[in-house]
Amino acid sequence: MFYVKTLEHEIVLEPIHFGPKLRATIVNLLKEEVEGLALANYGYVVNVIEVPENQIKSGIIEYDSGNVVFKVKYTALLLRPFINEVLDATVSQCNPLGFFAFVGPLRIFVSKHSMPEDMTNGFNNESDSWVSDDKEVVISSGCGVRLKIKGRTVEQGNITAIGTIKDNYLGLFDDGSGDTGEL
């Protein structure tokens, strides 16, 4: 789920950056440091929306290095997977154990155990795709699937999730050819 939240971040600046463009530097640096990062409790920072410059407080000089620490408040667009959340994802890779799908930066693994019964044995080695027993559904890389998040793992700066397509209204909705059949 995407949401906007105001967060705080500490920026350490070397004295070389002090000058008329200080605030701009801070904003740039903040974006560089924070965007794309996964914060354990908030999810991926997709975009830094706004850094109110009046909110940048005066920094504190570190006595041993001369660097200055600024505490910066910013509003960011966050992507956080919630358990049981339903998402549309793009399949990136299929392997005999399941497939990987991406929602923006978030990687979701769907195991073959989390696929409908008619697909669990349907891995096609030649085309690297998951095929249902009646050959109607073919999930290969590039497809769009609707899946439900069942669990997530938070690592340092990274979040991965486990999803399922074994439920009503879940599964393939875009075969990657461009025309969306269902939607």
Partner 1 sequence: MSARGGKFFRPGKFLRSEHHDDVESSEEEDDSEDEEKPQTKNASANLSSDDDDDELEDEDDDDDDDVAETNSSKRKATSAEGGTKKRPKTSAFFDEEAEASGSEDDDDDGEAYGTHHDPDDVVRKHYTDEDIRREQLDDEARELIKQQDRRRQQAGQFGSGEKSVAQMARDIEERHKMQRRMVPTSHLDRVEEEGPVEANYSAVSQQSLVPSVSDPSLWMVSCLPGKEQDLIYQVMNKCTAFARRGQPLGITSAVASSTKGKVYVESYSEPAVLEAIQGVRGLLQYSMTLVPINDMTTVMTVTPKKKPVKINEWVRMTRGHYKGDLALVKAVRESGLKCVIQCVPRLDLTLSDLPPEEARIRRRTVRPPQKFFNTAELAALGKHPVRQRFPGMDFCDYFEGNYFEDGYMIKEVTVGSMIKPCTDEDPPTLDELQRFRRRQKGRGDNQDDDDGDENEGSKMAASLLDELSELQGKTGLAKTTPGGGLIIGDTIEVIEGDLVGMRGKLVSLDSNGSTVKVKPTNNSVDLGDTTEVEFLTSQVRKYIPVGVHVKVTDGRYANETGVVVAVEPLEGESDCTAVVLTDVTHKEISVRTSQLRESAEVASGQDKLAGYELHDLVVLSGGGSANETGVIVRVGREDFTVINNHGIVREVRPEELRGKRNQSSNRAVALDVQGNQIRCGDSVNVAEGPHKGKTATIKRMSRSQLFLYSQTRTEHAGIFVVRSRSCVLAGNKSQNRGGAGDGGVSPFATPRSQSGGAGPVGGRGKRDDALIGKTVRIQAGQWKGYLGAVSDATATHVQVELHSRLKKVMVVRERVAVVGDKFGATEDTSRNAPAANAAANTTEDTS
Q: Judged by CB under 8 A, does residue 93 bind partner 1? A: yes
Residue 72 near residue 12 (C-beta atoms within 8 A):
no
Q: Judged by CB under 8 A, does residue 161 bind partner 1? A: yes
**Token pair 């008619």: residue:** 118
Applying CB under 8 A, among 9, 80, 146, 150 the residue interacting with partner 1 is 150
Residues 4-23 within binding reach of partner 1 (CB under 8 A): none
**Distance of alpha carbon 87 from alpha carbon 93, whole angstroms:** 17
Residue 158 near residue 102 (C-beta atoms within 8 A):
no
Q: Judged by CB under 8 A, does residue 153 bind partner 1? A: yes
Please identify, using beta-carbon distances, which residue of 28 and 111 lies nearer to partner 1.
Answer: 111
Q: Judged by CB under 8 A, does residue 119 bind partner 1? A: no
Give the total of residues touching partner 1 (CB under 8 A): 21
Q: Judged by CB under 8 A, does residue 98 bind partner 1? A: yes
Please identify, using beta-carbon distances, which residue of 41 and 54 lies nearer to partner 1.
Answer: 41
Applying CB under 8 A, among 44, 70, 109, 130 the residue interacting with partner 1 is 109
Residue 177, CA atoms < 13 Å, CB-side half-sphere: 9
CA distance readout (Å), 17 to 29, 67, 135: 11, 10, 61
Please identify, using beta-carbon distances, which residue of 22 and 42 lies nearer to partner 1.
Answer: 42
Contacts of 22 by beta carbon, 8 Å cutoff, 6+ apart: 13
Q: Judged by CB under 8 A, does residue 34 bind partner 1? A: no
Beta strands in 24-157 (DSSP E): 38-39, 43-50, 60-61, 68-79, 86-95, 98-103, 106-111, 123-124, 129-131, 138-139, 144-155
Question: What is the smallest separation between the CB atom of 81 and partner 1, expressed in angstroms?
Answer: 10
Question: What is the smallest separation between the CB atom of 97 and partner 1, expressed in angstroms?
Answer: 5
Task: Show the CA angle centred on residue 5, arms to residues 59 and 57, nearest 5°.
Answer: 15
Question: Which parts of this chain interact with partner 1 (CB under 8 A)?
Answer: 83, 92-93, 95-98, 100, 109, 111, 113-114, 149-154, 161-162, 164
